[in-house]
Amino acid sequence: MRTIIKTFSIIFVVFALTSCHKLDLNYNPVQPVTVPSSQRLPAIQANLAYSLYSQARFASYHSYYVTTRAGNSNAQTDTWNYNNINRMGAWRWHFFDVGSNIAGPAGMFIRAKEDGDNNYIGVGKILLALSYLSATDVFGDMPLEQAYNGTFNPVYDTQDKIYEGVDKMLSEGIVELQNVSSSARSMNATADLIYAGNYSKWIALAEGVRARMKLHTANFTNNYQDLLTTVNKALNGFDDAVFKYPGKSDLTYEKNLWGPSRPNPEWQFADIRNDLETSLPTDVFMKALTVDAATGVYDPRLYKLTTPGANKKYLGAKMSEGLRDLGLPSGTVYQDFANLNNGYWTADSSAYPYMIKEELYFIKAEALYYLNDLDGAWKSYRDGIQANMVRLGVDDGQVVNFMGSTKVVQDPSKLTVSDIMMQKWVALYLQAESWVDMRRYNYSKIAYPDLYYPKFALAEWGGRYIQRFVYDPQTEYVYNPKEIERLGAKVRDWVFNKLWWAEKSTLGK
Amino acid sequence: MLNMRNTLLFSLALGLVVTSVEAKTSKVSNSSNLAAATAYSSNRLVQNTVTGTVSDANGPMPGVTVSVVGASGSVRTDANGQFKITAALGATLRFSSVGYVSQDVKVAGNTLNVILKEDDNALEEVVVTALGIERNKKNLTYSVQNVSGDDLRASNQGNILNALQGQVAGAQISSSGGSPGLPTEIILRGSSTLTGDNQPLMIVDGIRVNNSSSNGTVNRVADINPADIEDISILKGAAAAALYGIDAASGAIIITTKKGKAGVMQVAGTYKAFVETMGRLPRQQQIYTTGTGGTYDESSGSSWGRKFRYDETIYNNVERFFQTALTHDANVNINGGSENLQYYMSGGYRKAGSMVPNTHQDKINFLIKGTAKLSSKLSVTASANYVQNNIQEGLGGASEGGWINSILRFPLKYDILQYEKPNGEPWYAYVEEGKERDARISPMWGVMRNPRNNDVDRFIVNGSIDYKPLDWLTLNYRLGQDYTSSRYRTVTTPGTPGTYFNGRVTESNSNSRYLTSTFNATMQKKFWNDFNFSLILGANSDYYESRGPAYTGEVFLVPDIFSPNVIERNGILLTESLPRRQRYAVYGDFNVSYKNLVTLGVTGRNDWTSTLSPQHRQFYSPSYSGSFTYSELINPDQWYGKLRLSYAKVGKDAPIYKTNTNLKQVATVGGGFVVDATGGNPDLKPERTAEFEIGTELGFLNRRLNVDLTYYQRESIDMIMTPRVPTPSGFVIMTFNAGSLRNKGVEASVNAIPFKTQDFTWSTTVNAWKNTSKMLKFAGDIVRFPYTNAQLNAGKASSALDEHVLGISGTDYKRTEEGYMVIDANGYPEMDKVEKTIGNREPEFNIGWLNKFSYKGFDLSFMWDFRFGGDILNASRQGMMSTGIAYDIGQWRDKEFVFNGVVAQSDGSYIKNEKPVVLNYSYFANNYYQVGTNFVEKVNWARVRHITLNYSLPNSFATRLGVKRLGLELSAQNPFVITNYSGGDPEVNSAGPNAGGAGGASTMGVDNGAIPLPRSFSFGVNISL
């Protein structure tokens, strides 16, 4: 009995002591609340690559680069129906993974300001501007003024206001980088995976983003001269802004999202995983890259952007139809098409482009074209093609051959807008920016001679072309119904409503 | 020192009692030497032994408590009703047994035979209420329902929550599916929040226990061995549970385990064997083979191809997949003790198989419990319960459920059982050159090679000390800890198509503990003969902590060892978590009753919690209740009638660490830190629940017919949710006070003994209930709130303002005002974009009907379960439709059809549609399965939960075998279900309870690849020595 009592007493005392805790323990002792900006920037840059991909994942189909093999099988890409999706990942990638990490309630800016690291603020603003621009170009109106202020039902700013905001962010970013404080934390290659802390390259990129933005509106604001100034500024000292993945890695998070491993990083949504595996190059793409169909001569970039199919044939599939296309030779199998995997942009180790130099050449070509400087436009057009071939690793001899072929305009006076736009389209393979161009030109044959209306787009769209993404159904439609109602985004055909710059566009007519 | 003094006091007290007895019966005494006299007379008394037999109308009664009035200690009669106790001549012996009128008999010799009378007026029934306080049912002011351990065990369910099905009016219990590792959800009186845990607080022997179901694994209260349960009290309302304050918003379940009883040692054992087979399965079409759009295409995983040719084998894969499995369950318990020390020990072992291949459970339970009476004023009770529960599951689903979707959709041209080559490498059903990563493989590969394991070691210790310094005062201190060590592991074998083609292993470990420390002072006193006062003052501390590392490893260097040791160095991601929570509370309970007529009760509790910001962290929870036994006024002997009324308002705190934002390391090139997707909210306020309850209890015919009726109305205000939020806020998930909702309903419980003779008894219990919920208010502009983990294309589990809380949202066809479908010019129905409420997952009415018959040695019990209404979102069927394998596709595909609807004319009028159309792939893909109403079914069911037949062999026969009692049992669980549901078993809850984090709340009524409940049959033996 005595031992029992003794044991109990001891147990009780021990337990009573251990059961005493204070109430101030609602903080996670094993997670940080803040870290230096140099430990924030790499993930922001990685997330921006994911974010741009999340837009390109669908835009690549809407801009006719690729189509599903089965045809009439994917609601979004084949029938242009966005009504039954649960989530729109691109919304989150921009606002949270990129935006919130830069400017959110626990974003990099807070610590950067405290520490006086204005170089990180500068780079952050440029990245945020780039992210906002690409996001508004797929979504249209969205929160900017009231973003990150804690509200669940912010007012959506109109797209022209967002463009103003992007312009301002770029300017502010440039100012910060032109006046980097001597006490600011250094930015080296481990912190800045894009330019290794080279501020002048960041400034050039900022101008490049500004040029991209100005191009979208130049046609109706008649601002090509201004655009030209900007693009020249950008070209001066521009270096490709690409996010690089390691040459060899077995880890899913170290892979390009277009890669054949079909990686899905944390918080990736199933429907964003790339589907190149079961997609085919379109006939539009194949026509663009065919020099002479009869003799089987193709643009050498075809072999760089894609890899050969098992049957070494190069057929093109009709948009939304895939193998269902009755025009295909009978017995056609997917092996009769080029393999979309493991091309220059589609390998696990491919770099993901934020912005490449070719884009600036083509922006310049388009600006000069509309300024009626055909010689200048032609030169820039050729610069763009040449730069792209060199990037893709085409042999010098082949480059010379191709540059002299019928596929490239030889006489500046014969240069048309479709020459520029189609070559830009090839150069910006799988980038969402091509979808902007296509919508800017209203899917016009003037700029894109081989376009046609997809067979399996639903009849209820009435022959209209797709213009945008839906807002994230999981959150925006739930928390912000009034704003969604005001915008008119509740209808089944919301994605056929043109964005501001497409609505105002004078192009393609 | 204290111990010694107590022992001394104890023996002195005993001595004094004995002496006074002695003084009356004998003249031999020497008052000058008290100690000597004590020793002497004790010696004499020990030798005075009384033996005898206790019987009732049916014969000898085992287990009757025999005690000496005025002295401590008691013995119990053995299996033959015989007892042996030491008592002086002239002392009074008290014979008592539950359900019998106690009898006091004076000792007049060495033998004593007593016949006990049955107590038909079981008025003094005692129930366990909050904090383990036992209250006379007669004076209870709120609804409490009791389920006895025997009734629980008759259902033969491994998970005690499943065993409660149908036994409690107002408890909506739904299991996530028929696999031992899947959780079961219990909701009392409707859902109280839209995300997070809706479930009642679980208390075992006075301490809070873990009932989480992390990673969608079994809810942890399933670790408790049903064999050890004495009874379960269900405190349904806020008033009943108000003393628990925090967490009482959803009610409380108070589990009391068996304890030792003084008397001869009793040893009992049971063994049961179960055979489990598949229950009701969804149907598939067996007409069309693999392909898309009507043409054969081997590369497609869909079944939209041409018709099967006659020479092609069609595999009935769903049936082939499930198997028949065997489960063994053995339990032993020993119970006994002396007057001052009683013990109970039990051990259980369960080795369960499952109809799902490669799925099994190994469970060991060990419980030891002892009570020591140190003196007439002091007693201690201690218990230790060890549980090992290791479950392996072949079907490891996502957080959204979807357990058998891959099986339901697997094309029937492939044999599901062919999944590996003889050398163990994967056998791909379809693979393209160099693209093994995207190959198609039988889901059996994943089941056999990529199981998930959840291994739990759990140790629940509990100590309690009772000190009764005064007649009317009891002081109790209780300290308990529920310690759970859990390891959850998933494996992806290299060669498995998908993202983790090179293999992956994830493991999360947690060592969690709930530490509860409670002090109660109970004062009970009678005044002026007719007034009973009771006052309880108490304080409580409740600490929770869970610590553990987790890792994810990708790419195996050695393909057959699933350990981080063979993972490529930088492929390992290691994380640690450490949630903590501290709560303190002080409370009081004042109760006064006048005769047995009127009782009034007031309770108050103040809580302090660590999970809210300092300005919001304390709150007060009051309750007021009363009862009036009106039958006391008119013929109290003829019937019984009582009215109960109560109101309570209780508060609830927030989940852990939701008031501030952290950064977390990220797995990207370059690494570094990102904002945690779950943002902090320092402005969180406590959630409040206010509940009003009124009820009546009626008893007739000597209490052979009892009726309990309750109406309640409960409002949950400022409920705390942790859902996905708009990312422009800067976060993906956030905890906030999201709105208010209301539940109201009625509960009726009728139990009757319609027939009773000496040999035959029929008793029956009917529990019926109905709950109606309504969403009253949402934060901000929200009007419709879908749950993240149950959004299945056309339909979503959701709540909408001013509508049912457990709703289904989705789209419908366009309809005219009269309700006719609008058909477009092509002859197909037009879809409506507007999302609206298309279903209510809450049953309209539930009935559980338990019948028990006993005839001589036979006992038969069976439980009927009826459910009326309650919609199911049949996402399983939707998934099967999209891949063309659904049964209906076989019935309707490519058939000509004229939709019953109207066509709009240019002048705005409508004419009847007469245009025939072909129901082709495009129609199903772009029209049929995008419309939510096509997948909502209003479901009714009638099912038998269990039938159990017990036979106790005659005593004479048992004795010949050398045992006291020998019983045989035959039982069937879920033997049949009658339902109009088109899918598998209609009891579905895809994502289970508290699906956690951003997850939604209850997914009751969502069938997303749910594993249908099995049907099982068992045979059991039980023996008492």
Q: How confident is the model at residue B401 (pLDDT cuts 50, 70, 90)?
A: low
Tell me if A33 and B662 make a contact (CB, 8 A cut-off).
yes
pLDDT the model gives residue B10: 38
Residue with tokens 């501290």: B582
pLDDT the model gives residue B16: 35
Q: In sequence order, what DSSP letters do the residues of A431-454 get, joined into one string?
A: -THHHHHHHHTTT-TTT-TT----
Contact yes or no for B336/B342 (Cβ under 8 A): yes
pLDDT the model gives residue B789: 65
Listed in sequence order, the residues at least 6 apart from B996 whose beta carbon sits closer than 8 Å to its beta carbon are B196, B214, B399
Please determine, for residue B736, whether its predicted confidence score (pLDDT) is greater than 60.
yes
pLDDT the model gives residue A4: 46
Q: Which of B798, B733, B405, B826 is nearest to A460 (CA)?
A: B826
Which one has a higher pLDDT value, A285 or B263? A285
Percent of chain B with pLDDT over 90: 42
Q: In sequence order, what DSSP letters do the residues of A39-104 get, joined into one string?
A: GTHHHHHHHHHHHHHHHHHHHHHHTTSEEESSSS--HHHHH---TT-S--HHHHIIIIIIIIHHHS
Q: Which of A412-416, B68-72, B361-365 shows the lowest mean pLDDT across its residues?
A: B68-72
Contact yes or no for B646/B142 (Cβ under 8 A): yes
pLDDT the model gives residue B1000: 44
Interface pTM, i.e. ipTM: 0.91
pLDDT the model gives residue B207: 81
Please tell me chain B's helix, strand, coil percentages from 3-state DSSP, rounded to the nearest 5: 15, 50, 35
- Residue at A285 is within a domain: no
Considering only alpha carbons, which residue of chain B is nearest residue A261?
B499
Contact yes or no for B85/B68 (Cβ under 8 A): yes
Q: Nearest-CA distance from B609 to chain A in Å?
A: 6
Q: Which of B670, B677, B780 lies closest to A479 in CB terms?
A: B780
pLDDT the model gives residue B100: 74
Please determine, for residue B997, whether its predicted confidence score (pLDDT) is greater than 50.
no
DSSP B1005: T
Mean pLDDT of all residues in B819-835:
88
Listed in sequence order, the residues at least 6 apart from B471 whose beta carbon sits closer than 8 Å to its beta carbon are none
Residue-wise pLDDT for B885-919, tens only, equals: 999 999 999 899 999 999 988 888 899 999 999 99
Q: How far is CA B714 from CA A260, B246, B449, B745, in A?
A: 54, 16, 48, 9
- CATH number of this structure's domain B2-99: 2.60.40
Q: Which of B731, B549, B726 is nearest to B658 (CA)?
A: B731
Q: In sequence order, what DSSP letters do the residues of B880-940 get, joined into one string?
A: HHHTT-BHHHHHHTT-EEE-SEEEE-TTS-EEE---EEE--HHHHHHTGGG-GGGGEEE--
Tell me if A27 and B921 make a contact (CB, 8 A cut-off).
no
Contact yes or no for B687/B718 (Cβ under 8 A): yes
- Residue at A156 is within a domain: yes
Set of chain B residues whose Cβ sits within 8 Å of the Cβ of A459: 826
Residue-wise pLDDT for B115-124, tens only, equals: 887 665 444 5
Residue B338 near chain A (CB below 8 Å)? no
A484 lies in which domain range?
A: 40-63+87-244+351-356+468-503
How many inter-chain contacts (A to B, CB under 8 Å) are there?
Answer: 298
Residue B676 near chain A (CB below 8 Å)? yes
Please determine, for residue B993, whether its predicted confidence score (pLDDT) is greater than 80.
no
pLDDT the model gives residue B117: 76
Q: Which of B433, B657, B731 lies closest to A28 in CB terms?
A: B657
List phi, psi (to 5°) of B91. -70, 160
Give the integer Cα–Cα distance in Å for A22 and B171.
Answer: 36
DSSP B290: S
Mean pLDDT of all residues in B169-177:
79
Q: Give this prediction's pTM.
A: 0.86
Contact yes or no for A419/A381 (Cβ under 8 A): yes
Residue-wise pLDDT for B110-161, tens only, equals: 888 888 876 654 445 777 787 777 787 777 888 888 888 888 888 888 888 8
Q: Which of A15, A41, A324 lies closest to B293 in CB terms?
A: A324
pLDDT the model gives residue B417: 93
Q: H or E segment at A11?
A: helix A2-18
Contact yes or no for A447/A437 (Cβ under 8 A): yes
| Sign of torsion over alpha carbons B116, B121, B124, B129 | positive
Residue-wise pLDDT for A392-444, tens only, equals: 999 999 999 999 999 999 999 999 999 999 999 999 999 999 999 999 999 99
Give the integer Cα–Cα distance in Å for A399 and A391.
Answer: 11
Residue-wise pLDDT for A339-359, tens only, equals: 999 999 999 999 999 999 999
Provide the CATH number for the domain around residue A219.
1.25.40.390
CA trace torsion B890, B894, B897, B900 (10° rounding): 60
Residue B925 near chain A (CB below 8 Å)? yes
Which residues 778-817 on chain B approach chain A with CB closer than 8 angstroms?
A: 779-786, 788, 791, 793-794, 796, 811
Please determine, for residue B2, whether its predicted confidence score (pLDDT) is greater than 50.
no
Please determine, for residue B12, whether its predicted confidence score (pLDDT) is greater than 60.
no
Beta strand B618-628 with B678-679 is unpaired
User: How do the domains of chain B map onto residue ranges?
Assistant: 2-99, 807-840+872-938
Q: Which of A44, A46, A250 lies closest to B554 in CB terms?
A: A250
Please determine, for residue B5, whether its predicted confidence score (pLDDT) is greater than 70.
no
Residue B483 near chain A (CB below 8 Å)? no
pLDDT the model gives residue B41: 42
pLDDT the model gives residue B46: 46
Considering only alpha carbons, which residue of chain B is nearest residue A47?
B668
- Residue at A147 is within a domain: yes
List phi, psi (to 5°) of B320. -65, -30
Considering only alpha carbons, which residue of chain A is nearest residue B613?
A26
Residue B727 near chain A (CB below 8 Å)? yes
Listed in sequence order, the residues at least 6 apart from B778 whose beta carbon sits closer than 8 Å to its beta carbon are B738, B739, B785, B801
Structure tokens given for B524: 């009970």
Set of chain A residues whose Cβ sits within 8 Å of the Cβ of B437: 260-262
Residue-wise pLDDT for B968-987, tens only, equals: 999 999 998 999 999 888 88
pLDDT the model gives residue B398: 52
Buried/exposed code over B377-416 (b: 16+ C-beta within 10 A; e: otherwise): bbbbbbbebbbbbbbbbbbbbebbbbbbbbbbbbbbbbbb
Q: How confident is the model at residue B39 (pLDDT cuts 50, 70, 90)?
A: very low
Q: Which of A137-151, B87-101, B597-611 shows the lowest mean pLDDT across its residues?
A: B87-101
Tell me if B580 and A33 make a contact (CB, 8 A cut-off).
no
Q: Which of B743, B843, B807, B1000 is nearest to B189 (CA)?
A: B743
B746: which strand partners? B711, B770
Listed in sequence order, the residues at least 6 apart from B482 whose beta carbon sits closer than 8 Å to its beta carbon are B204, B207, B208, B209, B210, B458, B459, B460, B513, B514, B516
Contact yes or no for A150/B729 (Cβ under 8 A): yes
Residue B683 near chain A (CB below 8 Å)? no
Q: How confident is the model at residue B17 (pLDDT cuts 50, 70, 90)?
A: very low
Residue-wise pLDDT for B924-963, tens only, equals: 888 898 899 999 999 999 999 999 999 988 888 888 888 8
Q: For chain A, how many structural domains are there in total?
A: 1
Tell me if B725 and A152 make a contact (CB, 8 A cut-off).
yes
Considering only alpha carbons, which residue of chain A is nearest residue B584?
A23
Contact yes or no for B620/B657 (Cβ under 8 A): no
What residue ranges of chain A have pLDDT lower than 50?
1, 4-5, 8, 11-12, 15, 17, 19
pLDDT the model gives residue B537: 92
pLDDT the model gives residue A463: 94
Residue-wise pLDDT for A57-71, tens only, equals: 999 999 999 999 988
Q: Which of A105, A266, A478 lies closest to B661 in CB terms?
A: A105
pLDDT the model gives residue B978: 92
Set of chain B residues whose Cβ sits within 8 Å of the Cβ of A151: 729, 780
Q: Which of B178-192, B347-361, B555-569, B960-974 shows the lowest mean pLDDT across its residues?
A: B178-192
Contact yes or no for B356/B373 (Cβ under 8 A): no
Tell me if B679 and A246 make a contact (CB, 8 A cut-off).
no
Tell me if B780 and A152 make a contact (CB, 8 A cut-off).
yes
Tell me if A33 and B661 make a contact (CB, 8 A cut-off).
yes
Contact yes or no for B256/B229 (Cβ under 8 A): yes
Residue-wise pLDDT for B197-231, tens only, equals: 678 888 888 888 877 777 667 788 888 888 888 88
Q: Which of A137, A168, A174 is nearest to A434 (CA)?
A: A137
Set of chain B residues whose Cβ sits within 8 Å of the Cβ of A17: none
pLDDT the model gives residue B67: 81
Q: How confident is the model at residue B382 (pLDDT cuts 50, 70, 90)?
A: very high
B189: which strand partners? none
Q: How confident is the model at residue B8 (pLDDT cuts 50, 70, 90)?
A: very low
